[in-house]
Structure 1
Amino acid sequence: MKRVYKTTEPFRLEGTGERASTQLLLIHGFTGSPSELRRLGYYLNDLGYTVNAVLLPGHGTTPEDMIRTGLHDWSGHILRSYDAMAASRAREGKIVVIGHSMGGLLALELAMKRRLDGVVSLAAPMFLSSRKTSLALLLQYFIKYIERRPAAAAHLVEEACTYDKTPVRCVVDLRKLMKLVKADLGQVSAPLFVGQGEKDGMVLPKSAEYIYRHVSSLVRQIEYYPHSSHGLLLDEWRERVYEDISRFLARLDQAGTWKQAVVEIQT
């Protein structure tokens, strides 16, 4: 099968062998697309896992489409995607959700509402680097979009197929989602992996520890990547992130290894 990159289409990759019954639900970030998850998806599918990468409403087309969507559309789509996977899974099948950025928030929210066998939250924002997003509540009544400034790592933005402008009213809903998830983190009890790049220019790295400290998961792991940006799934250090995620998934397959109460923070 030819591998395709830089496309906004959702994708499904059928697994093989014993791991095929473990379905991975991949969720992309704010204004992004499944393209940012394709390299990870191919990597995990090569290991045998079944991969489902969704396209959030309003994403992967135009900012004009996105501005007509919001929190309930994004959350609702994830719930429906999970329910469809759960209805079709094998008797002993597992479902693990992997989310990047806003996708990490949606993954955590899903863990509050549905039974999951594992959660991988990558660069999920509890605290944003810029305080300007707090102005969106007022700005939405005056301007519709904010142009994105040229990024230092423009090739990452290009591969993620991210919009070149951001609907202001959607920033308001992103902040609502952050607030909701932050307030209810104690409801997350599934085994959890938290990953965070220390060179993230959008999300403050302390977000990862906040998530780690406030969930109820008895099994949890946190990893910091000193050289990784917000686009940690695509930048040059991505292989280490992929390997850590694959080891986390492998441990889920070996239930006996999860008897320890808490995996200590690794820095």
Structure 2
Amino acid sequence: MKVGVLFIHGYTGAPYEVEPFVNYVKEHTDWEVSVVTLPGHGEELELREMLAEDWTMEAEIAIRKLMNQVDRIHVVGFSMGGLIALYLSLRYPVERLLLLSAAAKYIAPGQMLQDIRDITVDLLKKQADQNPVYMRYRQKAGKTPLRSAYQFTRIVKLVEPYYEKIRIPVCLVQGKKDGIVPFQAAEYLYEQLGSEEKQLIYSECGKHHICYSDDCDDWFKQALAFLDQPIPMPEDTIPSVS
């Protein structure tokens, strides 16, 4: 059976956020891989006129296209993309969900302050261009209108009432040093989901962009093993042993 995987990046992000794991999946499987770029995102941010519906609809278009090419489908969502992945699973026959730094709750002030301290030290050392956090914040500064941030919160509120209705297998991966989504958010989401089969993987050193964590090779293997589980046979099709 042909397997397909849809990857969804995060708010103000782009496919690069999930690229390391995308490449890992391509190297270790023969699956059909699709990576969506949400409207207004990508190399240049154009978010001012974007609505939450624009993002969910683009994800729906992508999953429908992939469904026409495969027999089984998984969805991998990073940050806000994790919430959109949950949304898709309520509307389409998604088999398994992998949620990376899923933004069920957001802004961890303690780690964000530490990130800012690190940036300040690099600025004093004139090494800010070598700090990936600083470069990311600088690129997005001034390009994230408040109206767009409100649309992000609409995505959160869209799926939150339905967590317990999610019954398919789910795996969450969360960095304990995430400066955007507090690591407790993964525990909250884990408890709220109605899935019987679910697991939570922590990255001790992972920040928000979890696919770039120093220990990503460890959890890449675990995450792929989760996605690669065989389909359980319905009871009425299991051959009896006489």
User: Shorter-chain TM-score: what band?
Assistant: 0.7 to 0.9
Match of 1:12 in 2: none
Structure 1 segments, 4+ long, off by >3 Å, are: 149-154, 156-159, 161-165
Contact 2:205–2:213 (CA under 8 A) maintained in structure 1: no
Instruction: Give per-residue Cα distances to partners, 1:17-71, cap 9 Å, x unaligned.
Output: x7xx1111000011110012221111101111221111000001433x2211120
| AA at the equivalent of 2:199 | Q
Match of 1:66 in 2: 47
Match of 1:80 in 2: 61
Which TM-score applies when normalising by structure 1? 0.73
Instruction: Give per-residue Cα distances to partners, 1:48-106, cap 9 Å, x unaligned.
Output: 1221111000001433x2211120000001111111111222xxx21000011011111
Instruction: Give per-residue Cα distances to partners, 1:114-140, cap 9 Å, x unaligned.
Output: 111100011112222268xxxxxxxxx
Q: Distance in 2 between matches of 1:44 and 1:157?
A: 29
Match of 2:38 in 1: 56
Match of 2:26 in 1: 45
Give structure 1 stretches of 5+ with no counterpart. Answer: 1-17, 132-148, 257-267
| Structure with the largest fraction of helix | 2
Question: Identity over the aligned pairs, expressed in percent?
Answer: 26
Q: Distance in 2 between matches of 1:114 and 1:150?
A: 44
Give the paired residue count: 215
Alignment of 1:8-47 (within 5 A): 21-47=2-28
Correspondence for 1:112 among 87, 90, 98: 90
When residues 32 and 182 of structure 1 are mapped into structure 2, their CA distance, relative to the original with a 3 A threshold, is same
Correspondence for 1:155 among 101, 117, 132: 132
Which TM-score applies when normalising by structure 2? 0.81
Alignment of 1:126-137 (within 5 A): 126-129=104-107
| AA at the equivalent of 1:24 | V
How far 1:232 moved relative to its partner?
Answer: 0.9
Mark the structure with the bigger radius of gyration: 2
| AA at the equivalent of 2:183 | P
Match of 1:99 in 2: 77
How far 1:235 moved relative to its partner?
Answer: 2.5
Q: Secondary structure at the match of 2:228?
A: helix
Alpha-carbon RMSD: 2.5
Give structure 2 stretches of 5+ with no counterpart. Answer: 110-115, 120-129, 234-242
